Amino acid sequence: MNEFQLFEGLGVALVTPFKQDGSLDCTSLSRLVEYQKERGVDFFVLHGSTGESPCIDRDERDFIIDCAYEATRGEIPIVMGLGSNDTRHVVERIRTMDTRKVNGILSVVPYYNKPMQEGIFRHFSLFAEACPLPIILYNIPGRTGMNMLPETTLRLADRHKNIVGIKEASGMREQVQAIAGGLNREDFRILSGDDNLSVPFIEDGARGVISVIGNAYPWIFGRLIHSAMDGDWETAKSINCELAEMNKLLFVNGNPAGIKTLLYQMGLIDHNELRLPLIPATPLLQKQIGAEHKRLSEVFGSRL
């Protein structure tokens, strides 16, 4: 398998399970990884927003990587989130960190200080020059306050061969179309950053997803993704329709409150705990998620 092919298909943005006292729960994380490994996930992403990365310190980040690596036994690629709005900081971090247990880096567009497109380009250029691993760019203007335009993505893809893809979470099909249509290389992967938009994004040239719902439903959502990648639109769109309500519910109280509720109800994590300022889903939403999971279980049975 070529290096860039490690990062296509179903990537799961793993939650970070906590115990009731707020400490890390490696037992639940190992169980979750094993569950997904058995159901065909293609790669994992740690330390993203779904993993509550702003509230995880450096020692905990290393512990989580070690825990996930042991659970996968090195058989499934691991992508680690590493980004900052301070270019010097993120460059120094990648230069000094131990990268032996990860296969790639997911790096978000600098947030809060709203750089111009040229600033975004220079930020990622310096990071790419320092990084020994493949890099997936992460464009999520709803969280960063700044949209990385397709022209900037294409400049970076042309300039740096170790920038191998982008998680496009702008919600805009025209951005995916522009990137796919402007690429001058075949070894660059566009990944959907929104589960509910995965099918249209794949129609426009994406080759997979970094998923939230995949935490709970890796087999059925993986089937959706690979069906779309194979051009089986009937199967992909049928599954997408069935999952639409759950995809909506998972974000009513923000991410990862919804997906942690679902994982707790499924017995995949031992506690429904988040770190402040995030809090668990409301009792009403927990009830709605439980009811929808029951419906999906009746639709898909053991295949879910």
Q: Which residues are catalytic?
A: 138, 167
Q: Are 176 and 201 in contact (CB under 8 A)?
A: yes
Binding site per annotation, positions for pyruvate:
50, 210
SS (H, E, C) the chain: CCHHHHHCEEEEECCCCECCCCCECHHHHHHHHHHHHHCCCCEEEECCHHHCHHHCCHHHHHHHHHHHHHHHCCCCCEEEECCCCCHHHHHHHHHHCCCCCCCEEEEECCCCCCCCHHHHHHHHHHHHHHCCCCEEEEECHHHHCCCCCHHHHHHHHHHCCCEEEEEECCCCHHHHHHHHHHCCCCCCEEEECCHHHHHHHHHCCCCEEEECHHHCCHHHHHHHHHHHHCCCHHHHHHHHHHHHHHHHHCCCCCCCHHHHHHHHHCCCCCCCCCCCCCCCCCHHHHHHHHHHHHHHHHHHHHHC
Residues flagged as binding site:
50, 210
